[in-house]
Amino acid sequence: MQTIGIIGAMEKEIALIRANLKNLQEEVVAGGTYLSGQLGKQQVVLTCSGIGKVNAAISAQILCGRYRVDALLNTGIAGNLADDLGLGDVVVAEQVLYHDFDPSIFAQCHPYTPVLKADGALVEQICRCLDEIGGVRYKRGVVATGDQFVSDSAVKADIIARTGADCAEMEGAAVGHTAVKNGVPFGVIRLLSDTADDEAESIYEDFADRAAELSAELLVRVIQEM
């Protein structure tokens, strides 16, 4: 049987997923809790990584190395960078990248992975599930990851100009990077909670809890469709 690893950064991004797991087993590894269980027809291992790239990479490596997951999914909320998307819409990553990593001086002498491709079959499967669910406005796009809550219009414009990304968050590329290093297919699905600009903090305060709940609800439905 295939096992899917699921990573959310914050408790509110995974609570509803955990509530839907059957035959739950719990293990603590490196200070993180790993919840194994059944979701729909799928065997999953769910964890709350904590915020940021290092936390996400640690969780992703534990899921790949210890739990030997067959695929990794990163879920949660993100700031909108796209003109054609709004709050509550969803980005399904075709690519993830770091917006805060500048490797230019090392480019000739050190291998690095600037853009990471999500697994094509997984992206198709997620989008098919979203189509089946219906009523979800989503875009296949680029997810930009950095150790920064983007809440400044100039910073937002700069990230868009450099990356062309559709949303900004803090874990997706680290999960993707770790997955690629382990030869594990990965996907990232993010629901837009704020505008990532000068207004972002107040919008986030109003909408983040609901957006996180909606993103978890959506992930449960996607996995139940699989």
How far apart are the C-alpha atoms of 138 and 130, rounded to whole Å? Answer: 8
What type of residue is 204? Y
**What's the chain's Rg over C-alpha atoms?**
16
C-alpha to C-alpha distances, 144 to 140, 157, 219, nearest whole angstrom: 13, 13, 20
CA torsion, ordered 151, 153, 156, 158, to nearest 10 deg: -140
Cα 14 → chain centroid? 12
d(CA 48, CA 45): 11
149 binds ligand ADE (CB under 6 A): yes
Nearer to ligand ADE, 185 or 215 (CB): 215
Binding segment for ligand ADE (CB under 6 A), chosen from 36-44, 108-116, 145-153, 213-221, is 145-153
Residue 39 or 150: the one with the smaller Cβ distance to ligand ADE is: 150
Cα(203)–Cα(84) distance, integer angstroms? 18
Q: Does 142 bind ligand ADE (CB under 6 A)?
A: no
78 near ligand ADE, judged by CB under 6 A: yes
At its nearest, how many Å lie between ligand ADE and the CB of residue 180?
Answer: 21
194 is catalytic: yes
90 binds ligand ADE (CB under 6 A): no
> Closest Cα to residue 182, out of 96, 60, 94, 74?
60
Binding mask 178-197 for ligand ADE (x = CB under 6 A): ---------------xx-x-
Report, in Å, the least distance between residue 178 CB and ligand ADE: 19
- Determine which one of 13, 89, 166, 171 is catalytic: 13
Check residue 8 for interaction with ligand ADE (CB under 6 A). no
Question: Annotated catalytic, 13?
Answer: yes
List, by residue number, the catalytic residues. 13, 194
Residue ranges that bind ligand ADE, judged by CB under 6 A = 77-79, 149-151, 168-170, 193-194, 196, 200, 204
